[in-house]
C-alpha cells in the first residue's frame, strides 16, 4: 500500500506515495530541508490516522518545534491529539527505566564504575531499544530518525560501526513503521550501508550555482519496487513547508 507524504509535488514522482512499512533515507547537508520534509511526512500521517514520532538525536526538540510552528502544519495541535510526538534521545536525554535495564544486562567488563547513560552519546542499540518501546506504547506507524550521522561515530572500529548501523536499520524494519532516516552524509557516490539497507534514497541538494544563486533541489536516487522520477527538481519553501516543482535544467 502507498501512503501520502504530505509534500506537495512529491507523491506523483513515486507512483503515488511511499510503500507502507518500508525504510527511506534522506541525505542532505544542514539546512537542505530534511527536518521540514520529515515533519510534513509525520503530519500527513497524523491526519490520516497514522501516529508518528520524530526521534531527535542531535538537535533539541524545542528548536524543531519552534521552527515548524512557522509553517501551517499545526504540529502543536497534532501533538495535543497524541498523533505526533517529538522524542528527544540526544546525548543529554535521560533514558529513564531503560538505564536500569542496560545496567543490569551490560557485562561488567563493558561498564565503567559509576558510569551513567545520562550525557553519554546514544548508540544504535540504545536508540533502537528506546524506539521499540515507544512504537509499542504509542502505537506509532511513522517514524523519523534525525539523524543516522549522530549515532554513526560512536564506535572506534569502522567495520563494527557499519555492522551496527546495518543492524539498526534491519531491526527498525521489524517494527512495521514507515520510516525516514536522515543523514548528513552527502556524497552520492559514497555508497554507505544506510544506502544499501534502505528501500529508497532521496537526496536534498543545497548549493550555489555559477551565478551565485542558492539552488535547492530534490532528487530520487533509488526507490525499490517503484517507477520513479530521476530528475533533479527545484524545491521551495511555502507556508505549508517544502514543495517540489520542475526539473532544474543544466546550462
Ligand atoms: N520561511 C522560509 N522560507 C524560505 N526558506 C526557509 C524558511 N524557513 C526555513 N527555511 C530554510 O530551511 C532551512 C532549514 O530547513 P531544515 O528542514 O531544518 O533543514 P535540515 O533539517 O536539512 O537542516 C533553513 O536553513 C532555511 O534555509
Ligand atoms: Mg534538521
Is it the case that residue 97 has pLDDT exceeding 60? no
Helix (H) or strand (E) holding 219: strand 214-223
**Ligand with the closest atom to the CA of 26:** 1
Is it the case that residue 106 has pLDDT exceeding 70? no
Give the DSSP per-residue string, 71-105: STT-HHHHHHTTSEEEEE-STT---THHHHHHHHH
Query: Is any ligand 1 atom within 6 A of the Cβ of residue 36?
Result: yes
Query: Is any ligand 1 atom within 6 A of the Cβ of residue 183?
Result: no
Q: What is the pTM of this model?
A: 0.89
pLDDT at 213: 92
Nearest-10 crossing angle of helices 124-138, 158-173: 10
Is it the case that residue 44 has pLDDT exceeding 50? yes
Residue 251 binned pLDDT confidence (cut-offs 50, 70, 90): low
Give the DSSP per-residue string, 29-76: -TTSSHHHHHHHHHHHHHHTT--EEEEESSS-HHHHHHHHTTSTT-HH
**Counts of helices then strands in the chain (DSSP H, E):** 8, 11
Query: Is any ligand 1 atom within 6 A of the Cβ of residue 237?
Result: yes
Return the residue whose CA atom lies nearest to atom 24 of ligand 1.
Answer: 31
pLDDT, mean of residues 108-120: 48
Cβ count near 53 (within 10 Å): 21
Cell numbers 534502505 label which residue?
A: 198
Query: Is any ligand 1 atom within 6 A of the Cβ of residue 30?
Result: yes
Return the residue whose CA atom lies nearest to atom 11 of ligand 1.
Answer: 31
Taking the centre of ligand 1 as the mean of its atom positions, its distance from the CA of residue 189, in whole angstroms, is 25
Query: Is any ligand 1 atom within 6 A of the Cβ of residue 241?
Result: no
pLDDT at 153: 73
Ligand 1 atom with the smallest distance to the CA of 36 is: 17
Question: What is the end-to-end Cα distance of the chain in Å, rounded?
Answer: 39
**Ligand with the closest atom to the CA of 240:** 1
Is it the case that residue 99 has pLDDT exceeding 50? no
Domains of the chain: 2-247 (3.40.50.300)
Q: Residues with Cβ < 8 Å from 6, sequence gap 6 or more?
A: 40, 41, 43, 44, 45, 47, 241
Nearest-10 crossing angle of helices 97-105, 124-138: 130
Helix (H) or strand (E) holding 179: strand 178-183
CA 73 to the chain's CA centroid = 18
pLDDT tens digit string along 75-95? 999 999 999 999 999 886 655
Taking the centre of ligand 2 as the mean of its atom positions, its distance from the CA of residue 42, in whole angstroms, is 14
Amino acid at each position: 500500500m502507498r501512503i501520502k507524504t504530505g509534500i506537495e509535488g512529491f507523491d506523483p514522482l513515486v507512483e503515488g506515495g511511499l510503500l507502507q512499512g518500508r525504510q527511506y533515507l534522506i541525505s542532505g547537508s544542514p539546512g537542505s530541508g530534511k527536518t521540514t520534509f520529515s515533519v510534513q511526512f509525520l503530519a500527513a500521517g497524523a491526519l490520516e490516522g497514522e501516529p508518528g514520532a520524530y526521534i531527535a538525536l542531535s538537535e533539541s526538540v524545542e528548536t524543531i518545534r519552534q521552527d515548524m510552528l512557522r509553517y501551517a502544519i499545526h504540529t502543536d495541535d497534532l501533538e495535543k491529539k497524541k498523533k505526533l510526538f517529538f522524542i528527544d534521545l540526544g546525548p543529554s536525554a535521560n533514558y529513564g527505566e531503560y538505564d536500569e535495564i542496560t545496567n543490569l544486562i551490560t557485562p561488567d567488563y563493558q561498564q565503567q564504575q559509576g558510569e551513567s547513560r545520562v550525557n553519554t552519546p546514544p548508540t544504535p542499540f540504545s536508540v533502537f531499544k528506546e524506539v521499540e518501546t515507544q512504537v509499542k506504547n504509542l502505537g506509532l506507524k511513522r517514524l523519523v530518525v534525525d539523524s543516522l550521522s549522530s549515532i554513526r561515530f560512536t564506535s572506534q572500529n569502522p567495520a563494527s560501526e557499519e555492522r551496527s548501523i546495518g543492524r539498526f536499520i534491519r531491526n527498525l524494519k521489524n517494527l512495521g513503521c514507515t520510516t525516514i532516516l536522515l543523514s548528513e552524509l552527502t556524497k552520492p557516490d559514497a555508497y554507505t550501508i544506510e544506502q544499501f539497507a534502505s528501500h529508497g534514497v532521496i537526496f536534498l541538494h543545497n548549493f550555489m550555482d555559477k551565478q551565485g544563486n542558492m539552488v535547492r533541489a530534490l532528487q530520487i536516487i533509488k526507490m525499490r519496487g517503484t517507477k520513479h522520477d530521476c530528475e533533479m527538481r527545484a524545491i521551495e519553501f511555502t507556508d505549508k513547508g517544502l514543495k517540489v516543482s520542475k526539473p532544474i535544467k543544466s546550462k
